[in-house]
């Protein structure tokens, strides 16, 4: 299945693995990544697929709603993954 993924904060630069080959310009915060995953994958599977450093990862959203890493993804889901952020 395909999901749409956006990475923010420090995470955009942290992606590694084969997906990089599809984005020769590099990945920026908020760039839309189309990621192919096996059916029934969870957010944790997605994180592993992108080889994201888990220690830099703080908040995950699916379709604009906060979700935990065991959340099971569905085709077409929009995922946003953030390193710790704050401001005001």
Structure tokens at 78: 């929009």
Taking every pair of Cα atoms in the chain, the longest distance, rounded to a whole number of angstroms, is: 39
The label of the residue with tokens 């999901």 reads: 3
The correct pick among 9, 33, 35, 37 for binding another protein (CB under 8 A) is 9
The correct pick among 66, 72, 74, 76 for binding another protein (CB under 8 A) is 66
Instruction: Report the distance separating Cα 88 and Cα 68, nearest Å.
Output: 24
The correct pick among 22, 23, 30, 76 for binding another protein (CB under 8 A) is 30
| 2-7 and 78-82 beta bridge pairing | parallel
Q: Does 14 bind another protein (CB under 8 A)?
A: no
How near is the Cβ of 38 to another protein at its closest, in Å?
A: 25
Return the number of other C-beta atoms located less than 10 Å from residue 33's C-beta: 17
The correct pick among 59, 72, 73, 74 for binding another protein (CB under 8 A) is 59
Q: Which residues bind another protein (CB under 8 A)?
A: 6, 8-10, 12, 28-31, 58-59, 61, 64-66, 80, 82-88
């Amino acid at each position: 299945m395909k999901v749409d993924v956006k990475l923010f904060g420090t995470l955009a630069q942290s992606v590694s693995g084969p997906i990089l080959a599809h984005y020769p310009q590099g990945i920026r915060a908020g760039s839309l990544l189309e990621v192919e995953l096996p059916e029934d994958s969870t957010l944790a599977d997605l994180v592993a697929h992108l080889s994201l450093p888990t220690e830099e990862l703080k908040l995950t959203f699916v379709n604009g709603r906060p979700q935990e890493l065991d959340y099971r993804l569905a085709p077409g889901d929009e995922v946003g993954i953030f390193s710790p952020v704050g401001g005001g």
